[in-house]
Structure 1
Amino acid sequence: MTQRAYVDALIIFERAGQVLLAERANTGYADGRLNLPSGKVEHGESVVRAAVREAREEVGVDVDPAALRIVHTMHYRSPEGSARVGFFFATNRWAGALHNAEPHKCAGLFWHDPRRLPGTVVRYNALGIGHYLRGEPASVHGW
């Protein structure tokens, strides 16, 4: 049987040595936990276009695709058994003011030192940030 995996675009917004994290709320998954602005790649969409779209939808800013640097790729299996392939992008350039553009799904946005992440960061995201900081281009977790 062929494995089916979700493909995710995750954005590491960087400012003054910190990264932006959003507190999940009212989603039914990991509510109260922190994650990177991110989402699934939609049918017919490139991972870069998905990152640009998610930046607009979740934190209300426009990101030029050329400002996105792919910094890590992860093949991840959640504790529940679902497979994901995550493309982690980093950027320190965007147009507009970052804000909570999805208050019905997000309790707030917070800047954190990526080397001292709170224990409430979703594991998938925390692992990706850690690999990025160490300059590791790819990883596999949960298999």
Structure 2
Amino acid sequence: MPVTNDDIAKTIRAHLDAHPEDAESLAPLLEAARGSDAPLASRTTTPGHVTCGVVAVTSDRQVLQIRHRSLNRWLLPGGHIEPDDASLLDAALRELAEETGIPRAWANPALERPVDVDAHVIPPNPAKREPEHIHYDLRFLLAIDPPAGNANVALQLEEVADYRWAPLTELPGRLSDRTRANLLARP
């Protein structure tokens, strides 16, 4: 069953329970999820829609970053929700596997809700006939536990140019703080 606006509203409310300071920036998304027939899980919904990403962290506190080919920036793995995704977390896990080859079996969700939600503007893409729009990126925190001696990454070269494992301290402010706090709270 595809991800619905109700699923998105429920997830945003759970995030806001933990981070009420995000209420103002997420109000447009929550309002659209509650009152719009436009599917916020669809990449064609404008002026904004939901995407799902991951903060993939190893036991030695290294975070996986990918070099996005068309944006030419270091980003967290993630992307658009597909109709076959059973949940928002499922979409994030699928994107991780697609972009990096890291299987779901290596990823253990640290939370059922996103650790962070980032709203950012995506520039227009004439080749895809996409206007400028907003991505509300729900970022899920995953502990990555590859089998001993096997931390290989197999990039989806159509979208990803490179990857790196960066120290957790290199994540930007709020995301770094929230990630560290949730990792420290884990048993």
Q: Would the TM-score normalized by the shorter structure come out above 0.5?
A: yes
Q: CA RMSD in A?
A: 3.1
| Contact 1:22/1:34 (8 A) holds in 2 | yes
Partner of 2:97: 56
Aligned to 1:92: 143
Q: Name structure 1 gaps, 5 residues minimum.
A: 118-125, 137-143
Which structure: greater helix fraction? 2
Does the Cα contact within 8 Å between 2:66 and 2:76 map onto a contact in 1?
A: yes
Q: Which deviates more from structure 2 when the two are superposed, residues 61-70 or residues 38-47?
A: 61-70
CA distance in 1, matches of 2:181, 2:151: 29
* Structure 2: unaligned runs, 5 residues or longer: 1-31, 37-45, 124-131, 183-187
**Percent same amino acid at aligned positions?**
19
Q: State the alpha-carbon separation in 2 of the partners of residues 56 and 66 from structure 1.
A: 10
Whether the aligned pair in 1 keeps the contact of 2:57 and 2:64 (CA below 8 Å) is yes
Residues 30-82 of structure 1, C-alpha deviation per residue, up to 9 Å, x if partnerless? 22x10111011123532111112112101112225982234424251427562
DSSP-derived class of the 2:97 partner: helix
Confirm or deny that 1:133 pairs with 2:133: no
Higher relative contact order (CA 8 A, sep 6+): 1
TM-score by length of 2: 0.53
Q: Number of residues paired by the alignment?
A: 124
Cα displacement (A) at 1:109: 1.0
Q: 1:135 to 1:59 in 2, by over 3 A?
A: same
Q: Which has the larger radius of gyration?
A: 2
* Aligned 1:31-110 pairs, distance under 5 A: 31=72, 33-43=73-83, 45=85, 46-64=87-105, 67-70=108-111, 71-74=114-117, 76-78=119-121, 82-94=133-145, 97-110=151-164
CA-CA distance at 1:87 after TM superposition: 1.6
Counterparts of 2:141 and 2:121 in 1: how far apart (Å)? 23
Go from structure 1 to structure 2 and tell me whether the alpha carbon gap of 1:128 and 1:100 turns closer, same or farther (over 3 Å shift): farther
